[in-house]
Amino acid sequence: MNPFQRHRQALASRLPDGLIVLAGGSRVLRNGDVPFPFRQKSDFLYLTGVEEPDCVVLIDPRRKAQTLFIPKVDSQHRVWLGPVPGPAQARSRYGFPRALHCDRLAAEILRAKRGCRALYADRDTLAKLGKLKGLGLRGLPGRPAALRDALDELRAVKSPGEIALMETASRVSGGAFRAAMRAVRPGMAEYEVQAVFESACLKQGLRHLAFSSIVAAGRNAAVLHYHHNDATIRGGDLVLLDAGAERLGYPADITRTFPANGRFTRRQRDIYSIVLETQKAMIDRARPGVVSADLHAKSMTMIAEGLKSLGLLKGGTAGLVENGAVRLFYPHGLAHMLGLDVHDSAGGRKRKLPNPAKVPVRFVAKLEPGFAITVEPGIYFIEALLRDPALRRKHRGSVDFARADGFLDFGGVRIEDDIVIRPDGPPRNLTDVPKEIDEVEAACGRG
């Protein structure tokens, strides 16, 4: 049984009284009549593993039936875009007991809806069904929120099959990181590092990135989701590479920060070591029952201690975390769930927790075996925060702004690994890319 068959079964047993219908994604135009590369909707991938556009899945839990509907394409489609699998091919390729063309969808729903209590479909699917001729859905209430909740609950815990897909994404992305670190030299453009990374992923058959690659040299690394990637890398710069490929929608999301000329300066080592020690400690603590927001608060404490040791912060550590001073240097979350959505859901209503930590953070969940999360602390010198007059006034007792001004050309350091929570002991780390200082120096080219 492939993982997607298991996902359909699990969803059917959560929603046994209705009919589950989900439309996959369609091509989206980029300009004129030219589409973006197609990326399947995450929920549809979860239930089918099908990367073709314009398909629909119908799950009838009461009759234990599962049908994949595929578009019937005309000869013009075949001329320009090639064939799409027919029903017989789709059945065997995707492991469905039944596959039909989409023009049979209305009739199949009409047949299956007898005695059903609800239609579990998302809003997009309900809108599409509303346009189908001959399909009256009166008396069959649409329940998009219940479907969302069930899918979020299921998608939070990754099965061995899903973890295997993420392992592939991590292994290939890890090799591409090593290639980028080997290639980097002062004088290169950021996009040349991007080209090395992305071509290494492509050469291994992973043709989709999980998100746009971030290659940020020097000050650009202080832009958290930098996207220009067009500056020249200078000797003495740190280069932050945050990137990852995906396999059947399952991503890697990795960050490394490395010296353009192969050697960290003293100051770079100081900042890097604080981030690295924090990251390793938080990975070690990521165990079942731990609340992610508490982990985040702990990482802020460690970063605050480190910045105090460099004279950038002053005063009691707890106060620096609570008053937000440390957030001037570390303004994002420690972690997020990782899955078919790079920033994946932390589960449905049952898993919703109040935030127990005294710090604002979006990801609040009690970690469970099978959760895949990132661990990605960072330290940045962000002019927009450090030169903000109101923040300077608010934090003048906590931050040595004169000293911080001397770091404004530094940029930032982020280190990000992808881990899976295990039932006991420390988590499994899917990321295999050098991160110790001597390993990173050995992995980088010498300018």
> Does residue 376 have an active-site annotation?
yes
Query: Do residues 70 and 85 lie in contact, with contact meaning Cβ atoms separated by under 8 Å?
Result: yes
Q: Which of 108, 376, 417, 418 is catalytic?
A: 376
| Nearest distance, CB of residue 385 and ligand GLY, angstroms | 19
Tell which one of 253, 344, 417, 418 touches Mn ion (CB under 5 A). 253
User: Active-site residue 336, yes or no?
Assistant: yes
Contacted by 190, from Mn ion, ligand GLY, none: CB < 5 to 8 Å by type: none
Among residues 137 and 224, whose Cβ is nearest to ligand GLY?
224
Residue 418 partner contact from ligand GLY, Mn ion, none using kind-dependent CB cut-offs of 5 to 8 Å: none
Binding to ligand GLY, residues 357-376 (CB under 6 A): 376
Name which of 190 and 253 has its Cβ closer to Mn ion: 253
The whole-angstrom separation of Cα 296 and Cα 377 is 9
CB 418 within 8 A of CB 253: yes
From residue 345, give the alpha-carbon distance in Å to each of 167, 235, 365, 373.
Answer: 20, 40, 10, 11
The yes or no reply on residue 242 touching ligand GLY (CB under 6 A) is: yes
Q: Which residues have C-beta within 8 Å of that of residue 111, sequence separation ≥ 6?
A: none
d(CA 173, CA 382): 28
Q: Is 374 in the site for Mn ion (CB under 5 A)?
A: yes
| Catalytic status, residue 225 | yes
SS (H, E, C) 36-88: CCCCCCHHHHHHHCCCCCCCEEEEEHHHCEEEEEECCCCHHHHHHHCCCCCHH
The CA angle 316-321-324, to the nearest 5 degrees, is 115
From the candidates 104, 343, 351, 392, which is the catalytic residue? 343
Determine if 344 is a binding residue for Mn ion (CB under 5 A). no
Count, residues near ligand GLY per rule CB under 6 A? 6
Using CA atoms, how far apart are residues 303 and 280, in angstroms rounded to an integer? 12
Nearer to ligand GLY, 257 or 398 (CB): 257
Which residue is catalytic, options 117, 234, 332, 392?
332
For 446, the 3-state DSSP assignment is coil
Question: Per CB under 5 A, does 108 bind Mn ion?
Answer: no
Contact set for Mn ion, span 415-434 (CB under 5 A):
416
CA 28/CA 70 separation, integer angstroms? 18
Give the residue with the Cβ less far from ligand GLY, 246 or 253: 253
DSSP 304: H
- CB 377, min distance to ligand GLY, A: 11
Respond yes or no: is residue 101 known to be catalytic. Answer: no
From the CB of 212, what's the least distance to ligand GLY, in Å? 9
Cα gap 122→144, rounded to integer Å: 5
Among 149, 242, 246, 418, binds Mn ion (CB under 5 A): 242
Rg (CA), the chain: 25
Whichever of 332 and 394 has its CB closer to ligand GLY, that residue is: 332
Binding site for ligand GLY (CB under 6 A): 211, 242, 253, 336, 376, 416
- Looking at the annotation, which residues are catalytic? 33, 225, 242, 253, 332, 336, 343, 376, 380, 414, 416
Binding site for Mn ion (CB under 5 A): 242, 253, 255, 374, 416
